[in-house]
Amino acid sequence: MILSKPDLLRYLSEGRLKIDPPVSPDEVAQVSIDLGLGRKFTTFKQPPDYLPAIHVDPSLWTSADLWHHFEQDVFRLYPGQFVLAQTLERILMPPDLVGFVEGRSSWARLGITIHVTAPKIDPGFDAPITLEMANFGRIPVDLRAGIDHPAQLMLQKISTPLEETALYGTGRSSSFQNQTDPIPHRRTEET
């Protein structure tokens, strides 16, 4: 069951769903919460000639040779470019809800995707949400931190609330818990 505006407002007012900084009631729509864009952006560096490919493993996040990190008010996203960004808000998911981050249609109509994949926000997640943004349009788009609201969070009740020990952040695969940047800078328990 997807939560509607009255349920979303109740979860927020009761403190069961924590969002920091708090969202205003105007940012709560019929079945979603609008999320702002933060100031942190991460892009791939131009790969060195000796690097024919990369592997998806924990070393990917710690390789200084792969990533450019920016903290700024405006990031210009050019056609064909990909950037990792973050929501302005830190989200703490309660044990009885799962979230889904989705792009807003006004952004899609410009050719901007907000998440390439992985829209699920697990119960217990506690961090800003990383946005996987790409420009499939034909014109550059300025991403304005603190002004733009490119994403929305939809929330759904799960069949049985999770026990504290089963929440995201308590297991070995919770590498994005408490992240402060679009990619984690700390080593995970898996490494």
Q: Token match 């217990």: residue?
A: 124
Q: Say whether 71 is catalytic.
A: no
DSSP 32-87: -EEE-EEEEEEEEPPPPTT------STHHHH-TTTEEEEE-SEEEE-TT-EEEEEE
Please give the DSSP secondary-structure letter assigned to residue 31: S
Q: How far is CA 112 from the centre of its chain?
A: 15
Q: Choosing from 132, 163, 189, 190, which is the catalytic residue?
A: 132
Return d(Cα 24, Cα 149) in angstroms, integer: 13
Q: Which of the residues are catalytic? A: 132
